[in-house]
Amino acid sequence: MANRAEATGRTRRRIEAALIRLLASRPYTGITIVEIAAEADVAVRTVQRHFGTKDDVLAACSRFPEQVVAEEWKRRPAPKSAEEDIRRLVNGIFAIYEEHSATVWAAYCRSVEVAELRDTLAAGIAARTARIDELLRRWPDAWASDADQAKRTMLSLTSYPAWRGFTDLGRFSPAEAAAEVIDILCQRLLRAS
């Protein structure tokens, strides 16, 4: 039964991501369920069975980032130190960016003009912020700077534009980009042991 629920979740996320990608190039009113199904590589009936209407898909899109982040965190072991927690954060967030790059790019590129994407982008930032807040609470004595400074630095260096800056044009592979950001964050934010 768990496998069926996981498969259902994956299908729903593919459909949600398809709508987000379509919104990057067209207005919401011009997108049809048929186009969403084609973009998600599923049957129209599959979209209708999971969501019913295009508006239902749109409503689910604002939950898409939190679901993806929560799913990624379940796969990663619990950290035993602040450094390990930073590594978990960066590797997890960067894995999401790599796996969902087209979807995240669509949300970032068009969120200013497309209100539907603005909510999705805000949900993604909120999910990342929640993970950083958890990390800061878990290791209250680990930081060389105050918690607000540490939070702002982590938010900046784990943002999608930062990931793109590191990985764009083959500057760094995704793994190398994560290693660089982890190194920067650990050196800058953690107390010397």
Domains and CATH numbers, the chain: 2-60 (1.10.357.10), 64-189 (1.10.357)
The pLDDT confidence band at residue 175, using thresholds 50, 70 and 90, is very high
Q: Which residues contact 139 (CB under 8 A, 6 or more apart)?
A: 81, 82, 85
Structure tokens that stand for 159 in this block: 């943002």
Q: What's the pLDDT tens digit per position in 67-97?
A: 788 888 888 888 999 999 999 999 999 998 9
The mean pLDDT of the chain is 89
